[in-house]
Amino acid sequence: MNLSDKIFKPEQYSYNDYKLWEGNWELINGYPYAMSPSPKRKHQNFSGKFSRKLGNILEREKLICNCEVYYELDWIINDNTVVRPDCMVVCGDFTEDFLTFPPQLILEISSHTTRLRDRNTKYLLYEMYGVKYYLMADCDKKIVEIFELIDNKYKQVDTRQFDFTPTCSIEFDVNSLFD
């Protein structure tokens, strides 16, 4: 027996396991992550403002934008990775109660317990799977970092213009939600 046989290796899980779990979880590369208790007031407030304002803009543009805002919807990336972003913009038609393709935009509202995962694990995951815009909000510092997928890599941008599809381009000042 060698040393690697004695080292503990955590069990990995699949989407079929995930479906049976109680409570709020995410599954990333087969490893479960317990989600925090309900988000704090600042988090909820910002998320609500984001969803309402962006949802209203997309509703006004519904003739050219077939896009909607979803709050805490599961995105099943593959059999061993399921995430539940705080908010996302999904364009196109789908009928399931979960997403099986990349959204155009993901907003994660970081807290001290999620900041490292949002900035590293999820950043790389969303980049790898082609999420066009990744927004990380910090309600304590009152800032939103906006990353756009350019040449398959995230680049931090300072924009109010979001081009979700060739026919759907909107103006949205995310940082104004802190006013």
Encode pLDDT of 119-158 as tens digits: 999 999 999 999 999 999 998 899 999 999 999 999 999 9
CA angle 36, 34, 104 (to 5 degrees): 80
How does the average pLDDT of the chain come out, rounded? Answer: 89
- Give the residue carrying structure tokens 């931090």: 156
Q: Which two tokens stand for residue 133?
A: 């815009």
* Residue 68 predicted with pLDDT over 70: yes
pLDDT value, residue 162: 96
What CA–CA distance (Å, rounded) separates 123 from 134? 8
> For residue 62, what pLDDT is reported?
82
Q: 81-110: per-residue pLDDT in tens?
A: 999 999 999 999 888 999 999 999 999 998
Domains in the chain, CATH or no CATH each: 39-178 (3.90.1570.10)
Q: How many CA atoms lie within 13 A of 164 on its CB side?
A: 26
Mean pLDDT of the region 18-23: 87
State mean pLDDT over 105-116: 89
Q: Which of 110, 97, 83 is nearest to 29 (CA)?
A: 83
pLDDT band, residue 22 (cuts 50/70/90):
confident
Higher-confidence position of 44 and 89? 89
Overall pTM > 0.95: no
The pair phi, psi for residue 53, each rounded to 5°, is -65, -50
User: What 3-state class would DSSP assign to 64?
Assistant: coil
CA distances from 88 to 4, 20, 50, 68, 98 (A): 41, 24, 10, 8, 12
